């Protein structure tokens, strides 16, 4: 079982001034957050987007047809050097069958949460992508979070290590970093849209799920055999996941679930729905030293 | 593709006074609801249970070991004629690996919601089971709901037809009735614990899920190919599934999702988390006439 360095291809490093595209494949958002995020990206790159992304249909940023056409065009476009997702929420799953067979240029997708299935699509096709802030979140993050994102997109040296808050299971694991949002990732189980997780270091984070729901999703991964495939577990933030009035915490529940896998696992990395959401490259080789709560990046995302 | 009458075995008809077992494989519950339900069952059968089922560990009715031992014993016990579940909630998923390979006597399990994976286990082993009230819910249901449950357990004639509230997609489908709770059933996708759904009429119901969450779970079934396997869809109640302040309803969302499958589908059957929760036999052959919103039972559950 190889944690192959070459299984995933780095994307060509971005340079300031490069053209990039913004897409909205999932839920709608308010214009103010969008424009605030746009300003941050536009301070660095030349941003293009279809004004149709401000459309709203129930909990979706426009019809499936609109979102699919926008995303397929952005992924295939050979001129734009990166695809920034405006927001997560819900909606990416609905586009998956329509994206099969489309050509994906060598460029990163940036996003998280509901964007997880899009990352998985890129990893299925052998691409590295960037688990990081969505555009509408950018203005609520601080300058170091912005700097880390730009560095990840532009630098040919590996990202700086991240430190977690707690060791759940000691041990060291090395492999490509894969995964993302727990709720959304588990919605790919039993479908052809899940990237092979064999040999991976699995990243999981979530928001607004009660402890028993975290347990249910984690148990789904377990019953599907995922914890027999992966080598280690990196837990990002689990925000708003407490049960009111309960004498137990989501951390206690996650710690016990992690212990049952026997896999190296550290928790509380500043990844996901928290105040930082530091960008990390999916598909690049990482080393988790759970005992010292350290996640090291062994490859650059950009080549 | 046969909607085989013989794929699932009827259970021996119960008689008043028969010994039956109560188990709590999922979440804990309050003693008053338990005793009120017990009284209703005890008015008909000789009820046995292990007092350990009143244990509480976080969101579980005691440890996995306790719940597994209780359930495995109840399923194997050749004297008791039926297994009543005290409550759903969450917890059944955690027991599935431990139940593999255990002998299941010819007797029905009665329950719904989180009990769905237990029904699926019975159907994987070729047994009919009863999608119906959990014990702690019984005292909130009316006498006809109780009568229907007892009749299903004791009668060798098929259950009375049920009528739904709305046609989503016209058409007629015939096959074994399988399924249960949407949220819980989808947690079996990609695992070895899902019963074969080929040729089935699929029953779905849920509680407390927002429209986008229903969409996400339904889309999971779609991406996993389930709607290419089943012949028709029976929607029970979807309680507390509205989005506050939204201009759309969960019914609209479900109707559109159903339409996209092209399968005969009727909704609003009094099955699930509503005020009636009429018992229906899983694994027996049914006929759904979606145009007339009628679900007919072609076989008795008891033999």
Portion 72-101 of A in contact with B at CB < 8 A: 89-90, 93-94, 96-97
Q: Answer whether B243 touches A (CB < 8 Å).
A: yes
Picking from B150, B103, B187, B145, the residue whose alpha carbon sits closest to that of residue B272 is B145
Please tell me which of the candidates B59, B223, B225 has its beta carbon nearest to residue A93.
B223
Picking from A176, A178, A230, A184, the residue whose alpha carbon sits closest to that of residue A206 is A184
Q: Which residues pair with A89 in a beta bridge?
A: none
- What pLDDT was estimated at residue A105? 86
Is the predicted pLDDT of residue B2 greater than 70, yes or no?
no
- What pLDDT was estimated at residue B163? 98
Model pTM?
0.97
When divided into structural domains, chain B yields a total of: 2
The question of whether A113 is a catalytic residue gets the answer yes
On whether residue A275 sits in a domain, the answer given is yes
Same domain, A181 and A72: no
The CA dihedral of B252, B256, B259, B264, to the nearest 10 degrees, is: -40
CB contact under 8 A, A96 and B223: yes
> Which one of B58, B100, B255 would you mutate to disrupt binding with A, by most A Cβ within 10 Å of its Cβ?
B58
Please tell me which of the candidates A190, A211, A213 has its beta carbon nearest to residue B224.
A190
Closest Cα of chain B to A298: distance in Å? Answer: 32
Same domain, B230 and B184: yes
> Which one of B26, B59, B64, B96 would you mutate to disrupt binding with A, by most A Cβ within 10 Å of its Cβ?
B59
* CA A57 – CA B215 distance, rounded (Å): 14
Closest Cα of chain A to B283: distance in Å? Answer: 23
Closest Cα of chain B to A179: distance in Å? Answer: 16
On whether residue B1 sits in a domain, the answer given is no
Last residue in a domain, options A154, A176, A192 = A154
- What pLDDT was estimated at residue B121? 97
Same domain, A93 and A29: yes
What number of other Cβ atoms are within 10 A of residue B227's Cβ? 19
Give exposure, A229-259, as e/b (b: 16+ Cβ within 10 Å).
ebbbbbbbbbbebebeeeeeebbebbbebbe
- What pLDDT was estimated at residue B6? 55
Last residue in a domain, options B154, B186, B219 = B154
Same domain, A35 and A81: yes
Q: Which two tokens stand for residue B47?
A: 């009820």
Which chain A residue has the Cα nearest residue B225?
Answer: A191
Which chain A residue has the Cα nearest residue B193?
Answer: A223
On whether residue A5 sits in a domain, the answer given is no
- What pLDDT was estimated at residue A6? 55
pLDDT band at B4 (very low <50, low <70, confident <90, very high): very low
Angle value at C-alpha A149, between A288 and A117, nearest 5 degrees: 70
CB contact under 8 A, A211 and B58: yes
Is the predicted pLDDT of residue B3 greater than 70, yes or no?
no
Same domain, A140 and A173: no
Q: How many CA atoms lie within 13 A of A74 on its CB side?
A: 26
Last residue in a domain, options B104, B119, B154 = B154
Same domain, A166 and A249: yes
- What pLDDT was estimated at residue A7? 84
Q: Which two tokens stand for residue B77?
A: 């016990």
On whether residue A6 sits in a domain, the answer given is no
* CA B181 – CA B259 distance, rounded (Å): 20
**Counting beta carbons within 10 angstroms of the beta carbon of residue A79, is it exposed (0 to 12), middle (13 to 18) or buried (19 or more)?**
exposed
pLDDT in tens, chain A (303 residues): 344 445 899 999 999 999 999 999 999 999 999 999 999 999 999 999 999 999 999 999 999 999 999 999 999 999 999 999 999 999 999 999 999 989 898 999 999 999 999 999 999 999 999 999 999 999 999 999 999 999 999 999 999 999 999 999 999 999 999 999 999 999 999 999 999 999 999 999 999 999 999 999 999 999 999 999 999 999 999 999 999 999 999 999 999 999 999 999 999 999 999 999 999 999 999 999 999 999 999 999 999
> Which one of A25, A68, A91, A93 would you mutate to disrupt binding with B, by most B Cβ within 10 Å of its Cβ?
A93
- What pLDDT was estimated at residue A8? 95
Which chain A residue has the Cα nearest residue B224?
Answer: A191
The CATH code of the domain that includes B166 is: 3.50.30.60
Please tell me which of the candidates A59, A192, A216 has its beta carbon nearest to residue B90.
A216
Same domain, B202 and B136: no
**What residues of chain A lie within 8 A of the CB of B97, using their CB?**
223
Q: Which of A27, A33, A70, A113 is catalytic?
A: A113
Q: Answer whether A253 touches B (CB < 8 Å).
A: yes
Closest Cα of chain B to A27: distance in Å? Answer: 10
* CA B141 – CA B133 distance, rounded (Å): 9
The CATH code of the domain that includes B84 is: 3.40.50.10740
Is the predicted pLDDT of residue B164 greater than 80, yes or no?
yes
- Packed helices B211-223 and B250-261: angle between N→C axes, nearest 10 degrees: 10
Closest Cα of chain A to B191: distance in Å? Answer: 4
On whether residue A9 sits in a domain, the answer given is no
- What pLDDT was estimated at residue A87? 98
On whether residue B180 sits in a domain, the answer given is yes
On whether residue A302 sits in a domain, the answer given is no
The ipTM is 0.97
Enclosing domain of residue B125: 19-154
Answer whether B236's CB lies under 8 Å from B269's CB.
yes
Active site residues of B: 113, 205, 273
**What residues of chain B lie within 8 A of the CB of A217, using their CB?**
187
**What residues of chain A lie within 8 A of the CB of B95, using their CB?**
none
Residues B78-121 have pLDDT tens digits of 999 999 999 999 999 999 999 998 989 899 999 999 999 999 99
Same domain, A130 and A68: yes
Same domain, B141 and B192: no
Mean of all residue pLDDT scores within chain B: 96
Is the predicted pLDDT of residue B33 greater than 80, yes or no?
yes
Same domain, B132 and B225: no
* CA B177 – CA B282 distance, rounded (Å): 5
On whether residue B11 sits in a domain, the answer given is no
**What residues of chain B lie within 8 A of the CB of A27, using their CB?**
212
Same domain, A121 and A193: no
Q: Which of A70, A205, A209, A299 is catalytic?
A: A205
Same domain, B215 and B189: yes
Percent of chain B with pLDDT over 70: 98
* CA A137 – CA A114 distance, rounded (Å): 14
Is the predicted pLDDT of residue B5 greater than 90, yes or no?
no
Start-to-end CA distance of chain B, whole Å, equals 25
Angle value at C-alpha B66, between B64 and B72, nearest 5 degrees: 95
Average pLDDT, stretch B59-81? 97
- What pLDDT was estimated at residue B7? 84
């Amino acid at each position: 079982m190889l944690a192959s360095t070459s299984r995933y291809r780095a994307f060509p490093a971005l340079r300031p001034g490069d053209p990039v595209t913004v897409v909205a494949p999932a839920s709608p958002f308010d214009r103010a957050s969008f424009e605030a995020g746009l300003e941050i990206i536009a301070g660095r790159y030349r941003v293009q987007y279809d004004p149709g992304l401000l459309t709203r249909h129930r909990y979706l940023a426009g019809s499936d047809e609109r979102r699919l056409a926008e995303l397929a065009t952005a992924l295939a476009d050979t001129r734009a050097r990166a695809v920034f997702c405006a927001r997560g929420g819900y909606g990416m799953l609905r586009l998956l069958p329509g994206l099969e067979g489309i050509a994906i240029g060598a460029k990163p997708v940036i996003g998280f949460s509901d964007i997880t299935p899009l990352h998985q699509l890129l990893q299925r096709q052998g691409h590295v992508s960037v688990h990081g802030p969505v555009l509408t979140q950018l203005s609520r993050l601080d300058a170091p979070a912005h700097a880390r994102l730009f560095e990840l997109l532009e630098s040919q040296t590996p990202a700086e290590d991240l430190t977690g808050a707690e060791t759940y299971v000691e041990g060291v694991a090395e492999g490509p970093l894969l995964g993302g949002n727990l709720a959304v990732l588990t919605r790919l189980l039993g479908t052809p849209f899940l990237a092979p997780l064999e040999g991976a270091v699995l990243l999981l984070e979530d928001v607004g799920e009660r402890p028993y729901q975290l347990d249910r999703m984690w148990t789904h991964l377990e019953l599907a055999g995922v914890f027999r495939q992966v080598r280690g577990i990196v837990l990002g933030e689990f925000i708003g996941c407490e049960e009111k009035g309960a004498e137990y915490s989501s951390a206690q529940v996650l710690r016990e679930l992690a212990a049952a896998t026997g896999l190296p696992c550290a928790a509380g990395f500043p990844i996901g729905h928290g105040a930082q959401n530091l960008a990390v490259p999916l598909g690049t080789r990482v080393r988790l030293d759970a005992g010292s709560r350290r996640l090291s990046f062994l490859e650059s995302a950009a080549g």
